[in-house]
Structure 1
Amino acid sequence: MNILIVEDEKHNALRLQQLVTELADEYHIAGMVGSVEETVNWIKNNAKPDVALMDIRLSDGLSFDVFRQINVSFPIIFTTAYDEYAIRAFKVNSLDYLLKPIQKEELAAALKKCNPSTLQPTVEQLLELINSKSKLYRKRFLLPAFDGFKTVNSEDILFVYFESKSTKLMLKSGHKEVVPYSLDELEEELDPDDFFRANRQFIVHVNSIERILNSFNGKLKVVLKRHPEKELLVSKEKAVKFKEWLNQ
Structure 2
Amino acid sequence: MNIIIIEDEFRAAKSLQNLIKELKPEASLTGVYDSIETSVEALSKDHQPDLIFMDIHLSDGLSFEIFKQVEITCPVVFCTAFDQYMLDAFKSKGVDYVLKPFSREDIAEALRKVDELKKFFQKKELPDLEALLQKISQPQTTAKSSFLVFKNQKYTTILTENIAYFYIHNEITHLVTFNKQQFPLSQSLGQVAELVSPKQFFRVNRQYIVNFSAIKEMEHYFQRKIYVKLSVETPEKLLINKEKTHSFFSWLEDR
Give the conservation status (yes or no) of the 8 Å contact 1:195–1:204: yes
Q: 1:65 aligns with which of 58, 62, 66?
A: 62
- How far did 1:77 drift? 1.9
For structure 2, the 5+ residue unaligned runs are 79-84, 97-109
Structure-2 residue corresponding to 1:211: 217
In the TM superposition, 1:32-111 aligns within 5 A as 37=34, 48-54=46-52, 58=55, 65-68=62-65, 71-78=69-76, 84-85=87-88, 88-89=91-92, 94=93, 98=95, 102=113, 104=115, 106-109=117-120
- How far did 1:202 drift? 1.8
Structure-2 residue corresponding to 1:112: 123
In the TM superposition, 1:132-211 aligns within 5 A as 134-136=138-140, 138-163=144-169, 166-211=172-217
Distance 1:103 1:59, change over 3 A: closer
Give the conservation status (yes or no) of the 8 Å contact 2:201–2:210: yes
- 1:116-143 deviation per Cα after TM superposition (whole angstroms, max 9, x unaligned): xx8996xxxx5x9746864435544332
Q: 1:246 aligns with which of 234, 245, 252?
A: 252
Helix, strand or coil: the match of 2:229? strand
Distance 1:43 1:145, change over 3 A: same
Give the conservation status (yes or no) of the 8 Å contact 1:2–1:29: yes
Helix, strand or coil: the match of 1:236? coil
Give the conservation status (yes or no) of the 8 Å contact 1:51–1:77: no
Give the conservation status (yes or no) of the 8 Å contact 2:148–2:157: yes
- How far did 1:246 drift? 1.9
TM-score (norm 2): 0.60
- How far did 1:224 drift? 0.8
Task: Provide the rounded CA distance (Å) in 2 between the counterparts of 1:238 and 1:48.
Answer: 36
Distance 1:154 1:119, change over 3 A: closer
Give the conservation status (yes or no) of the 8 Å contact 1:224–1:230: no
For structure 1, the 5+ residue unaligned runs are 22-27
- How far did 1:38 drift? 8.1
Task: Provide the rounded CA distance (Å) in 2 between the counterparts of 1:113 and 1:193.
Answer: 41
- How far did 1:73 drift? 4.6
Structure-2 residue corresponding to 1:24: none
Q: 1:235 aligns with which of 225, 231, 241?
A: 241
Task: Provide the rounded CA distance (Å) in 2 between the counterparts of 1:142 and 1:15.
Answer: 32
Helix, strand or coil: the match of 2:223? helix
Flag the structure with more relative contact order, 1 or 2, with Cα contacts below 8 A and sequence separation at least 6: 2
Q: How many residues in Structure 1 have an aligned counterpart in Structure 2?
A: 221
Give the conservation status (yes or no) of the 8 Å contact 2:228–2:238: yes
Task: Provide the rounded CA distance (Å) in 1 between the counterparts of 2:238 and 2:5.
Answer: 33
Helix, strand or coil: the match of 2:120? helix
Identity %: 22
CA RMSD in angstroms, aligned pairs only: 4.7
- How far did 1:45 drift? 6.8
Task: Provide the rounded CA distance (Å) in 1 between the counterparts of 2:164 and 2:124.
Answer: 42
- 1:32-66 deviation per Cα after TM superposition (whole angstroms, max 9, x unaligned): 87xx848976776797342443467x5868xx932
Which residue type is aligned with residue 120 of structure 2?
A: A
- How far did 1:241 drift? 1.7
Which residue type is aligned with residue 66 of structure 1?
A: S
